[in-house]
Structure 1
Amino acid sequence: MGFPGTWMTESESVVYRVVPKCACSTIGQIMFYSDHGTFFDGDIHDSTEGLHKWAQEGSQPLIEANVLAHKSYAFTCVRNPYTRILSSFFDKICGIQRNGRRYRGNLVPLLIQKYGIEVGDPENGFDFDQVKSFRRFLLFARDTIRWRRPMDPDIHWSAMSGHVATFIANGGRYDKIFWTEQFNDGMQQVLDAIETPQPVALSDIPRFNESEGHGPKRAHPVEDYFDDLSMHLMYEIYNRDFDLFRYDFDNPANKMPVGEIDLDEVHAKLGD
């Protein structure tokens, strides 16, 4: 199994478990910069050198040896499940991807046919009923996660706790899990705890939001997308995320965490 989704600086100053839709582009670029003093030219997910990634075969033995010996500070970043699933919908389902095509080829036509979802398109200014379509997408997301039908769940909407858990289950241990909503505070704590070859001034780092501009803008407040049934589905899919990472399930309008993350609890509950 190893450590899928794990990135490490070439200097081995820090190890990061990627959680999709949780500031991973910005974090990856900070890691790259902290070694090289420059940002990767392009989407950091496309880099094949300058940063160790589990997906790169040559990086695997280095990452595995580091993580199992806990040689470096290890961290990850999480996000409110309500805003994360909305972001996945607008970026991956409604948006046009970097290659100029729809995400995963036949996925959107499948959703239109089987779930009656509308996604709009750039020609009509992405004009469609966002609330109705999102709620239908949420039903699809639940079906993929619960029954792996009509396809396996996608990494962008599978539960954060699932991503976080593989690192623990295979022998890793986190030193820090912080919230996207308090990104500067959390990332600064990581930088304060490690030594980087290049100094990083967090206030000077731009935000690398690679999904921005691909699709429609969210037209309503977060809470408007979630009725009673939608919240029931959210709890069915993401109850562990709400509980472990201390987000407010009862109020979709509150994107901020409501308590501190207990690292020992996370390791105990996700390590089995």
Structure 2
Amino acid sequence: MGFPGTWMTTSESMVYRVVPKCACSTIGQIMYYADNGEYFDGDIHDATGGMHKWAFEQSQPVITANVQAHKSYAFTCVRNPYTRILSSFFDKICGIQRNGRRYRGNLVPLLIQKYGIEVGGDDGKGEFDQIASFRRFLLFTRDTIRWRKPMDPDIHWSAMSGHVSTFIVNGGRYDKIFWTESFNDGMQSVLDATENANEVKLKSVPRFNESEGHGPKRLHPVEDYFDDLSMHLVKEIYHRDFDLFKYDFDNPANKMPIGEIDLDEVHAKLGE
């Protein structure tokens, strides 16, 4: 199994377990800058050098040796499950991707046919009932996660705890898990705890939100998308995320955490 989704600076100053839709583009660029003194020109997910990634065969033994010996500061970042699944819908389902096509080819036509989802036409710019379509997408999400039908769950909407756990199960240990909602505080604590060749000033880091502008603009407050049934589905899918990362299940309007993350609890519950 190894350490899928793990990135590491070439200097081995820090190790990061990627969690999709949780500021991963920005974190990757900060890691790249810390080693190279410049940002990667393009989407950091496309970078094939300048940092170690588990996806590169030559990086795998280096990452494995580092993580299993806990040689470097290891961290990850999480996000409110309500806003994360909404973001996945608008970016991946309604949006046109950076290659100019729909995400995963035939996925959107399948959703239109099987679940009655609308996405705003061929270019994603048309008007449609965002709330109704999102709630149907939630049914699809639940089906992929619970029954792996009509397809396996996608990394962008599978539970954060699942991503976080692979690192622990295979012998890694986190030094820090912070929230996207207080990104600068969390990322600063990582930078303070590590020695890097180039100083990163978080206030001057550009925004690397690759999903921005891909899809239609969200027209309603977060809480309007979640009725009782939607909240029930969200709880079924993401109950461990709310529990471990201390988000407020009862109030979709509150994106901020309501407690402190207990690293020992995370390692105990996700290391089983």
Is this a same-fold pair by TM over 0.5?
yes
Aligned length: 272
Which runs of 5 or more structure 2 residues have no equivalent in the other structure? none
SS at match of 2:200: coil
Structure 2 counterparts to residues 99-178 of structure 1, below 5 A: 99-121=99-121, 125-178=125-178
Which runs of 5 or more structure 1 residues have no equivalent in the other structure? none
In structure 2, how many angstroms separate the alpha carbons of the residues matched to 1:122 and 1:141?
22
Counterpart position of 1:6? 6
Q: Deviations over 1:249-270 (max 9, x none)?
A: 0000000000000000000000
SS at match of 2:187: helix
Q: CA deviation at 1:243?
A: 0.3
The amino acid of 1:227's aligned partner reads D
In structure 1, how many angstroms separate the alpha carbons of the residues matched to 2:138 and 2:60?
35
SS at match of 2:58: helix
SS at match of 1:55: coil
The amino acid of 1:271's aligned partner reads G
- Shift in alpha-carbon separation, 1:71–1:215, aligned structure 2, 3 A: same
The amino acid of 1:234's aligned partner reads V
- Tell me if 1:233 matches 2:233: yes
Counterpart position of 2:209? 209
Question: TM-score, normalization: structure 1?
Answer: 0.99
The amino acid of 2:120's aligned partner reads G
Q: CA deviation at 1:122?
A: 6.3
SS at match of 2:146: helix
Q: Percent identity?
A: 83
Q: Deviations over 1:230-264 (max 9, x none)?
A: 00000000000000000000000000000000000
Moved over 2 A (4+): 121-126
In structure 2, how many angstroms separate the alpha carbons of the residues matched to 1:222 and 1:126?
21
Q: CA deviation at 1:206?
A: 1.1
SS at match of 2:27: helix
Q: Deviations over 1:96-130 (max 9, x none)?
A: 00000000000000000000000013657331000
RMSD of Structure 2 on Structure 1 (CA): 0.8
- Tell me if 1:38 matches 2:41: no
Counterpart position of 1:20? 20
In structure 2, how many angstroms separate the alpha carbons of the residues matched to 1:124 and 1:38?
34
- Tell me if 1:181 matches 2:145: no
Counterpart position of 2:243? 243
Q: Deviations over 1:57-76 (max 9, x none)?
A: 00000000000000000000
